[in-house]
Amino acid sequence: MVVNEFIGEATDLLRRTPEVLRTLLVGLPDSWTDTSDVPENGWRPHDVVGHLITGELTDWIERTECILEHGTSVPFETFDRFAHTDRDADATLDELVEHFATLRAENLARLAELVSEEDLDRRGMHPSLGEVTRRELLATWAVHDLDHISQIYAGMAGSHDAEVGPWKTYLGILLRRDDPSAIAG
């Protein structure tokens, strides 16, 4: 293989995320997309895609470059978990998905220039977590996608919490919105 297996497999997943979001969300009626993952202080799909955009703008590639340039001597910038709130207030969900897709494509091209097998164990300094490796950063980029797409699914399910009637008792994705310790039905 031209690239390291780990890099290739992580990149394969990262490349799929924009297309998954397009397939799932673009053109879907608001009745599915206007509900938060949890009832209190949750995020709607609009917030989640905004948060993914923030990662592309300020986090994953910037931190990769920080490791390459500074190793552990300069800590990463803190991730602003609410940067999307004002920035994306006027954008539609469909616009955010397309913006995310553009940024992700640019960042994967940049990653291909920056990353190589022998660099995966190089270390950087996370402002809270301490020393981390490039390998961990790359795996986290991918799992962070999975975490937040799952959050989109929780909000979409929540939009039809009432409509399923008595079947709710079998639907773990709804039960967990009310009680995180509920076991999937």
Size of the site for a copy of itself (CB under 8 A): 53
Q: Which stretch binds a copy of itself (CB under 8 A): 51-59, 66-74, 108-116, 122-130?
A: 122-130
The distance from CA 179 to its chain's CA centroid, rounded to whole angstroms, is: 23
Regarding 150 and contact with a copy of itself (CB under 8 A), the answer is yes
Beta strands in 4-153, from DSSP E residues, in sequence order:
123-126, 130-133
For the CB of residue 43, give the shortest distance to a copy of itself in the complex, in Å. Answer: 10
List the one residue from 3, 4, 32, 95 that touches a copy of itself (CB under 8 A): 32
Q: Output the CA–CA distances (angstroms, integers) from residue 102 to 19, 70, 161, in the order listed.
A: 11, 28, 33
HSE value, Cβ hemisphere, 13 Å, CA-based, for 166: 0
Asked if residue 86 binds a copy of itself (CB under 8 A), the reply is no
Among 74, 109, 112, 146, binds a copy of itself (CB under 8 A): 146
- Amino acid identity, position 142: A
Q: Does 144 bind a copy of itself (CB under 8 A)?
A: yes
Strand partners, 26: none
- Does 125 bind a copy of itself (CB under 8 A)? Our answer is no
Environment class of 149 (CB within 10 Å of its CB; exposed 0-12, middle 13-18, buried 19+)? middle
CA distance 53 to 145: 11
Q: In the bound complex, what is the minimum distance in angstroms from residue 114's beta carbon to a copy of itself?
A: 19
What's the closest the beta carbon of residue 53 comes to a copy of itself, in angstroms? 18
Phi-psi region of 28 (alpha: psi -120 to 50; beta: other; left: phi over 0): beta
Other Cβ atoms less than 10 A from the Cβ of 62: the count is 15
Nearer to a copy of itself, 73 or 181 (CB): 181
- Residues with Cβ within 8 Å of 181's Cβ and at least 6 positions away in sequence, in order, are none
| Residue 35 makes contact with a copy of itself by CB under 8 A | no
Contacts with a copy of itself by CB under 8 A lie at 6, 9, 12-13, 16, 19-20, 23-24, 27-29, 31-32, 37, 126, 129-130, 132-133, 135-136, 139-140, 142-144, 146-147, 149-151, 153-154, 156-157, 160, 163-167, 169, 171-174, 176, 180-184
